[in-house]
Amino acid sequence: QVQLQESGPGLVKPSGTLSLTCAVSGGSISSDSWWSWVRQPPGKGLEWIGEIYHSGSINYNPSLKSRVSISLDKSKNQFSLNLSSVTAADTAVYYCARGLYGAKTFDLWGQGTLVTVSS
Amino acid sequence: ERVMTQSPATLSVSPGERATLSCRASQSVSSNLAWFQQKPGQAPRLLIYGASTRATGIPARFSGSGSGTEFTLIISSLQSEDFAVYYCQQYNNWPTFGPGTKVDIK
């Protein structure tokens, strides 16, 4: 079955750029699904960051739009997140997730990766 | 932005009892509402979408209802594995989540 796995640095310096990748296994990233990033600060709730479709269509959370970039690599069957100008407020567990067909909710999640912003 | 609120923040329930969780949207989200369960150290798991449709593999003791701005998740008879945090999420426009309801053992 399809599985998602996040990877990337666990520590990023303030004002730097957070970069994560989500590898899709057991299925194709070119399937009829949107692919999203969601984050969760320690002990807090969930925040949707943005999504990408294999055609290249992208949507971002308006509150993060100026700092976020999501891209997709079909050859590697993965998609990526870049978040620039990070501060301690960006410390969170970052999840990649698959969109449920026909609804902007999420039926498959990666295990999540903790990214800490600290000097 | 559609702001989601959930009540109560914490719900203490005995195993075998019924749990009723509420979710409210600041503006109508029609039936574009999902519920998730999250256990410590785990990713969220989709329970309900379209306000009332159970996701694949979700037991029938979980049921969702509502439309517009008021939604309810009912767990008919709590099992030990159901003690967790539950989030609602609207997807009428860009997705937003509620703050969660923690269901713990009474």
| pLDDT tens per residue, range A8-49 | 999 999 999 999 999 999 999 988 899 999 999 999 999 999
What local confidence, expressed as pLDDT, does residue A102 receive? 83
Render pLDDT for B85-96 as a digit per residue (tens, 0 to 9): 999 999 998 999
Please give the residue of chain B at the shortest CA–CA distance from A39.
B43
HSE value, Cβ hemisphere, 13 Å, CA-based, for A73: 11
Please give the residue of chain B at the shortest CA–CA distance from A101.
B49
The chain-wide mean pLDDT, for chain A, equals 96
Cβ pair B96:A59 closer than 8 A: no
Q: Is A111 exposed, middle or buried (0-12, 13-18, 19+ CB in 10 A)?
A: middle
Min Cα distance A85 → chain B (Å) is 23
What local confidence, expressed as pLDDT, does residue A107 receive? 96
Cβ-nearest to A106 among B1, B42, B46: B46
Q: Which of residues 74-93 of B touch A (CB under 8 A)?
A: 87, 89, 91
Transcribe chain A into DSSP letters. --EEEEES-SEE-TTS-EEEEEEEESS-TTSS--EEEEEE-TTS--EEEEEE-TTS-EEE-TTTTTTEEEEEEGGGTEEEEEE-S--GGG-EEEEEEEEPTTSSSEEEE---EEEEE--
Cβ pair B95:A62 closer than 8 A: no
Backbone φ and ψ of A90, nearest 5°: -90, 0
What local confidence, expressed as pLDDT, does residue A101 receive? 86
Cβ pair A103:B100 closer than 8 A: no
What local confidence, expressed as pLDDT, does residue B88 receive? 98
What local confidence, expressed as pLDDT, does residue B106 receive? 87
Q: Give the residue ranges of chain B where pLDDT is below 70.
A: none
User: Can you read off the two tokens belonging to residue A20?
Assistant: 């994560």
Which chain A positions have a beta carbon within 8 Å of B1's beta carbon? 62-63
What local confidence, expressed as pLDDT, does residue B9 receive? 97
What local confidence, expressed as pLDDT, does residue B1 receive? 83
User: Can you read off the two tokens belonging to residue B106?
Assistant: 């009474």
